[in-house]
Structure 1
Amino acid sequence: MGCGCIVAMIGMAAPRFAIFLVWLFSDRMAIAFNGFLEAFLGFLFLPFTTLFFALVYAPVGGVSGFGWIIVGFGLVLDISSYTSGAKARADRAASI
């Protein structure tokens, strides 16, 4: 099992922690993103998408083919985490 697989498994439970590990122990974030601001905004608002983009980004060709499916899956995870949080808040408010 490669390092990328371990980070992806950690990322499924805690994507921001996985992004921090990738930033700390590799140069994937610097390779995948042009500047700090892009990576930081992704860290704040779209952590799954940011993590998966950094993991599938190739220095020469960027993201292509199946990599876009993985990035899209990250976007679906981000959107579902926001919508499930909003639903939980609405359910909690309705029960009071």
Structure 2
Amino acid sequence: MCLFIVLLLIGPRAVILVWGLVAPLQWSAVFGTLLVPILGFLFLPWTTLTYMLVAGGGVVGLDFLFLALAVVADISSYGGGSAYRRRRAAAA
């Protein structure tokens, strides 16, 4: 559990990488193919992690809220990075 929290502090891609190496059967059971986790690693890491956590018993109820929050987190991370670059370019 402590390793999982430390990896979350490092970033979601680190968690995906370590979790994928430690429990590859769990990843293949949830996603079925290797393409979806790779795309999730590249483009939507928080959503991929959240889906891994909630998909075990099926996505129902509050799971949809958690997935929506993860999508918002992924999109805001891209938007925040571009806003920072624009601000930095304007200051230079």
Give the TM-score normalised by structure 1.
0.82
Q: 2:11 aligns with which of 7, 14, 37?
A: 14
| 1:32–1:11 Cα change, 3 Å | farther
The gaps in structure 2 that reach 5 residues or longer are none
Q: Indicate the structure with greater helix content.
A: 2
State the match for 1:45 in structure 2. 43
| 1:63–1:22 Cα change, 3 Å | same
Query: What CA RMSD, in Å, does the superposition of the two structures yield over aligned residues?
Result: 1.9
Q: Report if aligned partners of 1:11, 1:51 keep a CA contact under 8 Å in 2.
A: no
Number of residue pairs matched by the alignment: 91
State the match for 2:54 in structure 1. 56
Residue deviations 1:36-87 (CA, integer Å, cap 9, x gap): 11110010000000011011112xx521111111111111110110000000
1:93 pairs with 2:89: yes
Identity, in percent, stands at: 37
Cα deviation, residue 31, structure 1: 1.8
Give the TM-score normalised by structure 2.
0.85
State the match for 2:28 in structure 1. 30
The gaps in structure 1 that reach 5 residues or longer are none
